[in-house]
Each structure stands twice: as C-alpha cells, then as structure tokens.
Structure 1
Amino acid sequence: MRRRLLALALTCASAVLAAGCGALPGGGGRHTVTVWLMKDSASPDFLHRFTADFERTHEDLRLDIRIQQWTGIGPKVQAALRGQAQDGPDVIEVGNTQVAQYVEGGRLTNLTLESMRDWGMRDWLPGLAEPGQDNSAQYGIPWYAANRVVVYRKDLFAKAGITSPPRTRAAWLAATEKLDSGTTQGIYLAGQDWYTLAGFVWDEGGDLAQRTGDVWKGTLDSPAALRGMDFYRRLQALGDGPADADEEHPPQAEVFATGQVAQIVAVPGIAQAVVRKNPALKDKLGFFPVPGRTADRPGTVFTGGSDLIVPRNTDDRDAAVAVVAALTGARWDTDLARTMNYVPNKTTLASAVAGEEGVAAMAAGAAHGRATPSTPQWAAVEADNPIKRYMTKVLTGADPATEARRASRRITEQLAPGLG
C-alpha cells in the first residue's frame, strides 16, 4: 500500500543510474559507499546533483547508488543484513513500517546519538520517526513522507454554498451532507479503506493494537476505537462507496473522474490520474487536510514514506552516517520534497512545500501522522486483514462492539499466536 502513496513514474534504469552516480572524475583512491535506494523514490536528476555535491564535499568518498525494486525487497535486505549479499550496502532505504522487521536480530546500527546530537530528532515527523525506533533506540532515520488528504471539487463546493474547506469533523459531515444529492455523491469512501479509518481511531485516542510489555493485542473494541468507526460509518454513508471493497476496487480515481463525486480521501497525486481520465476537471480540484476533532489541528493520518538504515556489517560506519546525514539534512531533504512532491522529514521544513496546495495539505496532516503498530508481525495482519472484514460487517448493519471484539481477537492471534 505504501507505494500507492508514492506512485510516481520515472524512467531511469538501475544500471544506468548506478553508473552515472558513481563515475565522477577524480574518483580514484576514494572509499566507495554503497547505497540502496528504491525505485521511484528520487529522480535521476536529484541523485546526480546530490552525488556530485556529496563527492565534492567528501573528497575521500565515492557513492555507488543502486536502485532496487520494491517487489521482493524484504528477503534481499535480510540477506544483506546477514552479510550474504555481494558488495553489500552501507545505507539502505526502507519503508517506514518495515524497520521493525529489520531490527530483529540486532543487525542494524543504533543511530540514537547522532539523532539526538546532530539531526534534530525532536522535529521529525512522528509517522516516520516512531516506526524507526525500538526500545527508545533510533535505527531508522526519517527521509520523506506522503499521506492522505481530502481531494475535492471546488466547483461543487461553491455550488453548495460552501465557501471554505471544513476544519473540523463535525463541519466536514455537515458539508458532505450538503454535497450529497441525487446526482452527486457527497464523498466516495470505500467500505474497507482501513488506513482512513485508522486516522479516525487515532484521533479519538484509540489504536489498532497496543503493546503491554512484549505482548501485542488488538484494540479495535476499545471505546475510543469504536467512536472512530462510528464516524467512519456516518461519513461513508454520504456516498455510494461499496461496503465490501477497498479504495482500489474499483480504483477511486476512476470513480472520481466520472464527475459525480464531490470528495475522496487520497494522496494529492491522484489528481493527475483523475484529470487524465476527465480533462474537464482540470483546475476544478482542490485539497485540504483531513479535518480533526477541533479546528486547532488537522486529523491524524496514516503516514507512508521511507527511513534510511545502516547495517551493522558496514565496513565504514562513519562514511555511511555521513551519507544519511546529508540525505536527511535540511538542504537535500527539502530539495527532494520539492522535486518529488513529498513532505520533508521535519515539521520545521513544511514551509518548503507551502507553494504546492496538495503537498501543503499533506504536510499539515503529517505533523500529526502515525504509522501502523511497530511490530514485524503486523505484515500478517495486512495479509489476512480482519480490519477490512470488521468494517464491512459494521457498514452492513452488524453490531459494532461484537464485530470489533471478533476483529481484535483475530489481530491478537496474528500478532501473538496463542493469546487470542
């Protein structure tokens, strides 16, 4: 799912990029730092500019940037961390929610001291920083983020007499009710969009699962989580989203492009796909942060993005740390954000994307973003997702508390077999 948040088309083949980034004049005698970055995370132009500057300011180092595919990356990273990869990496980009699975086994470098002393960790986006931690030690260093916002039809809002985007959930419901008519859906919200549900649950003070000691348990049946589900139910009813499918079935961009939907919850980049399908919607789309419970802060949203990690088996820790420091530092992090329409890794850098309406809306939400429970076993939950089944049951009339208890037991079984 995380890659859907960052669906950007680039054309550089990994072999070409690796060669281009590493073969600068004067490279002889330098120590090579091998960096694995993921496909589509950064443009070739950005990487060439970064490499040239880094090698100019680090005369003893040479960068060898190798582009990796997301498909199958987990086993490949695990093999590298075990020292089983030829020319293993010194720095690796990983999904923010993947750090937990790589921390197991003690094969990552603890970067807590650098984070506290040099890298301004207090300002990091929580949805990137928290998944990079384990027992208060920082292993994953935030790089960039993306998250959902409300994508809306400016013309339909104006027609309904809505002069400005809502800033509270109550106002959002009221506005959506105005927009919902016989010919227009107030909002298209698929019944199993559990990432959006998670934000409402977090806003209420609940969670999908919580850890007590070393044991994780599902907590969808808490009063706070049930309040989040109730808001989702009321909002989802103001459109015709299917109760038994997620936002990709059918793709919500295609539904929005029909011209009969006033709002969707998605990353801003989806607007490009909508306009390709329906060019008449060009200049009619706007963006605002998912509203919160009160007007003083936007709603909590799921934060996708990437962290950088350093394997313990690197043969030059200082060189690897220098690369991480440069990529995640203010200069190059804001450059990347502007280049790729990402959210920078710190709340204090949000002004760098203030000129882009969609990205600015993302940045406002990301300041209060969260990630899924930081446990390697969470992948099992997503693979056979009881949250989706729970949502469908509630939206089709089942008792929320009963279904929440059932889903919570299943999550517990998946996170801690034998305790469900």
Structure 2
Amino acid sequence: MKSRLPAASAALLLAGTLAACGASSPSSSGTPEAAELTVWFMKDSFSDEVVQQFRADFEAAHEGTTLDIQIQEWDGIGQKVTSALASNDAPDVIEVGNTQVAQYAASGGVVDLTDKIDDLQGDDWLPGLAEPGNIDGKQYGIPWYAANRVVIYHKDLFAAAGITEPPTTRDAWIADTQKLDAGGNQGIYLPGQNWFVLAGFIWDEGGDLAVQEGEGWRGALDTPEALAGMDFYAQLQALGEGPKDSDEANPPQADVFAKGTVAQLISAPGGAGAIIEANPELDGKLGFFPIPGPTADKPGAVFTGGSDLIIPEASQHQELAYEVVKALAGEKFQNQMAAAMSYVPNRVSLADALVGSEGAAAMAHGATNGRATPSSPSWAAVEANNVIKEYMTQVLTGGDPAEAAEQASATITQILDTDS
C-alpha cells in the first residue's frame, strides 16, 4: 500500500463486518511456575518461521518454560476441541475460529477471561473481532487476528497467457481463467468443498446460507439466488483439476500451487507464505487481487473472519497459559504476524502494520464487501456436520442442483431448530 489510509480502513471495515463466532479466570497473584505448555495452532495459520520465532521469544522471557506447539487440521476440529475441553488432559491454549467460541463456551470448559480485558488493552480491540468471543457479557475468546480471502496468482503464468492486469469482474475472471487453463497448466485450483468461497458467490447473487424467520432459522441454499452462486462456483471449479470431494486442506492447496503449474488459488494472503516455503523459487512471483464481483464497481463478497484464543478449564497451568495468550495478543507478536502473514491485527491502533503489503491491500479492498456466516449460535453445528460441503460435492459430481440444495437446506433448518 502507498498510504496509511487503506490499512486503517481495512481494520475499521473488518471491525464492522467480523461477527458470528464455565469458568474461573487465571489468578494474577505471583509469578507462574515454569512448566511445559501445550498450545494448539491451526494448520496454515502461520509459517514455521513465525511459530518458531514466537516459541523462542516466549521461552527466553519465561525461563524454564517450554512450549509444545501442535498444529491441528481444521477438518474435524470441532469435535476434537469439544472432547479436549471435557477431558482432564486438555491443551493449555487453543486457537479457535471466531464462529466457534459460542459453541465451546456453552460446554462450560472454557476459562472466563473477562477480568483480563483491561490488561490486554481490550478497549483497542477491533469490535467485530472481539464480539464473537463475548458470550452473555463474558469474554471467553481473546481476539487474535482477522483475515479474508483473496486470489493469489502466479505472475509468470499470467504474463505467458497475455494477461497484463488482474480481472475485476466475474466475466473477465472466467475468460482469463480459460486462457490460463491451457498449455498444461491449471487455470485455477479450486477444490469442490471450499464453502466459504461459495458463500461469497451466493451473497453476490443476493442469497444467503440461512435466513432468520421470527425466532427460528431456515436453510436457504435452495433459493434461486443461492443456486446461481453454486452455478458460478461450478463454472470456475471446472477450469482446474481440484478434487470435487474434498476441501482446501486435502491435499493442502499451497502444496499443489507450489508445483508451479497452477495459475490461481483462493486463500487468505498468508497462504502465500506456505507456497513459498514449499517452493522458494516462487518468491517474488506471486501476486494478489480481490475476488472479482459481478461488476467492476465493487469486489466480490467475502467471508470475513478470524481466530480467537481460549484457555481450557482443564489446563493445569492457567496462569502460564494466560501469559501465552497475552504474548500472542500483544503488540510485538501482532506486528510480527501482520508483517509476515498479512493478517489484520487485533487492535485498531496497529493498523499501520499492514502498510506496504500487496496481499493486505487486496484483502483490504475485498473487505469492503465482507460478510459473516449466519448469526445463529448453532451455526457451528452446520459446519461440523459438513452439510454445505456434501451439498457441493453432490452438485459437482452430477447431482441435480435444485434437489441437492433442497435437501441441504432442510438439513440446515433441522440442525438450527434442534440446537436453538
């Protein structure tokens, strides 16, 4: 970015759009005793370099303490965290999606950190990132970082196809991707179950995943608008070789892109770090642009979300666990993270950390059309049951779109009604 305004705008925009996602607080008396702590980070949240630097810094500042940072897969994480919270051997700190905090807090296994808000400078948090972690006035989830998806592209393949500027409309995007999908390359790598991307296409058409009716919720994948969004997804997905029955983690899409024959993928900007780690020769060859919308006047709709940090009640070292949370949510790590991963920091005052990043600039522009998943507290159960993923695979493998959407919508309605 060439000015400070876009970065600040990104933070403010995400503050307004990020939403949707029992317990004694750790004591603050005395200095916590040294211990070995187990910390769960999600796959592809951070590069190995960022993780290793944090571990080294924390252990240096807390003599005798060691961190066992374990990387978790998103697929199936809901049940894994729920089981951990109910066990006697839970991790000490867990990264969770912001849409998941309400689900975990309801289990009674998450520490209430409300009395730590001032110590963590909570008055400076992005409101939209902090709100999902606050359940009935209690802060269970500490906001960590925010992001939305962009298109990461291979500059050399674009140039070879004669494409000099990234597309700004859906029609141009399809046309360019068709050009790229030639000569042995994949125009785009888009797995069949990337439902966050589908959500954006549905929102662009004026539809939604579910809608509130009175005090209840109804699945809405069977509306004409949602079906149009699924149709566009199918058109785009067909211009690559992405699997129709798995998501972006299976196989890791960064590894696929790193082979050098994929022109585009859809990811948070930080995904570029995983690509370069897998293939250093691509360093300097990656570009970013916002997901195109139906018209050039605004980018395509995107899901804007982020991650929170929670401390399980079953942690045997809650005071030290809080020190980990404080360090991860603190200014030093937030600035390092923003520079390395192009994520939006958790504080409004740290927005300048995004200045100068091409990926962050694309993300900031995309955030102007950001949306959240349905605000039902039971939405996490829809995600956990893979309802939308299975619907997408059914359509992409030849099923009748209208029939599949009707079945999926009925399932969503049932889940939201049952769990509400």
Structure 1 match to 2:408: 407
Moved more, 236-245 or 150-159: 236-245
Structure 2 match to 1:104: 106
Question: Do structure 1's residue 156 and structure 2's residue 157 form an aligned pair?
Answer: yes
**Structure 2: how far apart are the matches of 1:32 and 1:367?**
46
Q: Cα offset for 1:99?
A: 0.6
Q: Deviations over 1:19-78 (max 9, x none)?
A: xxxxxxxxx95467998743476635436656888x9xxxxxx99785564474433334
Q: Cα offset for 1:205?
A: 4.3
Change (3 A) 1:176 1:415: same
What is the CA RMSD across the aligned residues, in angstroms?
4.6
Structure 1 match to 2:83: 75
Moved more, 338-347 or 381-390: 338-347
Change (3 A) 1:346 1:336: same
Change (3 A) 1:146 1:52: same
Q: Kindly, what percent of the aligned residue pairs are identical?
A: 53
Which structure 1 segments of 5+ residues have no match?
Answer: 1-27, 56-61
1:98 counterpart letter in structure 2: Q
Question: Do structure 1's residue 391 and structure 2's residue 392 form an aligned pair?
Answer: yes
**Structure 2: how far apart are the matches of 1:220 and 1:263?**
27
SS in 2 for 1:306: strand
SS in 1 for 2:100: helix
Structure 1 match to 2:222: 221
**Structure 1: how far apart are the matches of 2:396 and 2:225?**
18
CA contact (8 A) 1:39 1:67 kept: no
Structure 2 match to 1:8: none
**Structure 2: how far apart are the matches of 1:176 and 1:43?**
35
Alignment of 1:181-220 (within 5 A): 181=182, 183-212=184-213, 215-220=216-221
**Structure 2: how far apart are the matches of 1:397 and 1:113?**
52
Question: Do structure 1's residue 167 and structure 2's residue 175 form an aligned pair?
Answer: no
Q: Cα offset for 1:100?
A: 1.4
Change (3 A) 1:50 1:392: closer
Change (3 A) 1:122 1:273: closer
Alignment of 1:327-406 (within 5 A): 327-328=328-329, 330=331, 332-338=333-339, 342-346=343-347, 349-362=350-363, 364-365=365-366, 369-370=370-371, 372-373=373-374, 377-378=378-379, 380-406=381-407
Aligned length: 376
TM-score w.r.t. structure 1 length? 0.68
Q: Cα offset for 1:151?
A: 1.8
**Structure 2: how far apart are the matches of 1:66 and 1:260?**
38
Which structure 2 segments of 5+ residues have no match?
Answer: 1-28
Q: Deviations over 1:221-251 (max 9, x none)?
A: 2343223223212322333434344334554
Q: Cα offset for 1:357?
A: 3.1
Q: Cα offset for 1:286?
A: 1.9
2:122 counterpart letter in structure 1: W
TM-score w.r.t. structure 2 length? 0.68
Change (3 A) 1:121 1:394: farther
**Structure 2: how far apart are the matches of 1:300 and 1:162?**
24
Structure with more contact order per residue of length (Cα contacts < 8 Å, sep ≥ 6): 2
Structure 2 match to 1:17: none
Determine which structure has more spread, i.e. the larger CA radius of gyration.
Answer: 1
CA contact (8 A) 1:221 1:405 kept: yes
2:54 counterpart letter in structure 1: F
**Structure 2: how far apart are the matches of 1:93 and 1:391?**
27
**Structure 1: how far apart are the matches of 2:226 and 2:136?**
25
Change (3 A) 1:363 1:48: farther
**Structure 2: how far apart are the matches of 1:278 and 1:135?**
46
Q: Cα offset for 1:143?
A: 0.8
